[in-house]
């Protein structure tokens, strides 16, 4: 006996709606944006778990802001303030740039060193000839020392529990 041919409608075929054709000349016109020359130099600095996004601005007010706070308020000790400004002092650009930085993670000392690293990288973008002096001073090398992880069976990374004889 010959079988009858039946057509099966699928659900997806029934749901499809006809797409209207676009008329000619209806394309959206977009303006090409002209990039202005950047007024700042950006550098990313790291130390331990601290990360700093640093911008050196040569125009406008020469204010040093860390996380939208003045440098003196964010890093209260003179030692930390000198750490942040040391690349600018070394290259004799101290009054010529304003620093604005976003810092996250780590402690205060690690954050200050991360900002210093970012400032040094931004200075190299400003003037590539400064690279040799900054590298020699150690401001461009990222300090690789990190906290060692805790191991199981120990109290800290290497500190074992107190040993008792009996």
- In order along its 166 residues, the chain shows pLDDT tens digits of 566 666 665 555 555 555 565 566 555 655 555 555 558 899 999 999 999 999 999 888 889 999 999 999 999 999 999 999 999 999 998 889 999 999 999 999 999 999 999 999 999 999 999 999 999 999 999 999 999 999 999 999 999 999 999 8
**What distance in Å separates the CA atoms of residue 31 and residue 160, rounded to the nearest whole number?**
66
CATH number, domain 40-137, options 3.30.230.10, 3.40.50.300, 2.40.50.100, 1.10.1380.10: 3.30.230.10
Indicate the domain borders of the chain.
40-137
pTM score, whole prediction: 0.73
The three-class DSSP label of residue 56 is strand
Cβ(85)–Cβ(94) below 8 Å? yes
Question: Residue 115 is encoded by which pair of tokens?
Answer: 């900002």
CA distance to 18, 64, 80, 82, 88, per residue, from 48 (Å): 59, 23, 16, 19, 22
Residue burial 22-40, b: 16+ Cβ < 10 Å; e: rest: eeeeeeeeeeeeeeeeeeb
């Amino acid at each position: 006996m010959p079988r009858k041919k039946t057509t099966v409608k699928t659900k997806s075929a029934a749901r499809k709606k006809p797409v209207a054709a676009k008329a000619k000349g209806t394309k959206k016109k977009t303006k090409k944006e002209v990039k202005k020359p950047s007024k700042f130099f950006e550098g990313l600095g790291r130390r331990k778990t601290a990360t700093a996004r640093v911008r050196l601005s040569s125009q406008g007010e020469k204010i040093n802001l860390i996380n939208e706070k003045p440098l003196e308020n964010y890093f209260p000790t003179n030692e930390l303030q000198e750490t942040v400004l040391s690349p600018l002092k070394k290259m004799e650009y101290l009054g010529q740039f304003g620093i604005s930085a976003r810092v996250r993670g780590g402690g205060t000392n690690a954050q200050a060193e991360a900002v210093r690293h970012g400032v040094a990288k931004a200075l190299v973008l400003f003037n590539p000839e400064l690279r040799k002096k900054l590298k020699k001073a150690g401001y461009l090398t990222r300090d690789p020392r990190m906290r060692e992880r805790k191991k199981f069976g120990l109290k800290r990374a290497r500190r074992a529990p107190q040993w008792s004889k009996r």
